[in-house]
């Protein structure tokens, strides 16, 4: 049985080392023959690009026995290779957890934006 997600707070740091935003995150441990830790959070939609829009964070961490190789790209981004059946099962669960949390938070901000729009129209 999967352990429930824990709620946390993550301080996001910009490229110059300055704190830019504190966001709520959710984490859980995914166990099979290997063990992954996963943490994810977002502000949701904030109406802008990288300078003024939302912030999204995720982390996948090898906690034990995960055959994983991560290769960063010089221009930004990364690729991940996992080796083994257990690793396939745990990464599927980790990615599902990440997308579930992000979709839920995105839906919440869409609803808030729609409600705000509706209230603004009623006020005019």
DSSP state of 67: -
In a domain, 1, yes or no: no
In a domain, 12, yes or no: yes
Per-residue pLDDT of the chain (124 residues), as tens digits, is 456 899 999 998 877 777 778 899 999 999 999 999 999 999 888 888 877 788 999 999 999 999 999 999 999 999 999 999 999 999 999 999 999 999 999 888 877 767 667 766 777 6
Total domains, the chain = 1
In a domain, 61, yes or no: yes
Q: Which two tokens stand for residue 40?
A: 């994810």
Phi–psi pair at 6, nearest 5 degrees: -105, 140
> Which whole-number Å values give the CA distances from 94 to 12, 57, 108, in the listed order?
21, 14, 21
In a domain, 115, yes or no: yes
Q: How many Cβ atoms from other residues are within 10 Å of residue 41's Cβ?
A: 25
Q: How are beta strands 35-42 and 19-31 bridged, if at all?
A: antiparallel
Range of the domain at 11: 6-123
> Which whole-number Å values give the CA distances from 37 to 80, 101, 109, in the listed order?
15, 15, 26
Q: Say what the pLDDT of residue 97 is.
A: 96
In a domain, 48, yes or no: yes
């Amino acid at each position: 049985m999967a352990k429930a997600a824990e709620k946390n707070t993550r301080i996001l740091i910009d490229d110059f080392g300055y704190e830019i935003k504190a966001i709520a995150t959710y984490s859980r441990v995914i166990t099979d023959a290997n063990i992954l830790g996963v943490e994810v959070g977002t502000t949701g939609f904030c109406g802008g690009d990288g300078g003024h829009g939302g912030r999204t964070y995720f982390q996948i961490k090898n906690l034990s026995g995960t055959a994983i190789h991560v290769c960063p790209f010089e221009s930004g981004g990364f690729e991940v290779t996992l080796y083994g059946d257990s690793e396939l099962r745990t990464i599927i669960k980790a990615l599902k957890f990440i997308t579930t949390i992000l979709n839920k938070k995105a839906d919440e901000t869409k609803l808030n934006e729609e409600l705000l729009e509706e209230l603004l129209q009623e006020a005019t």
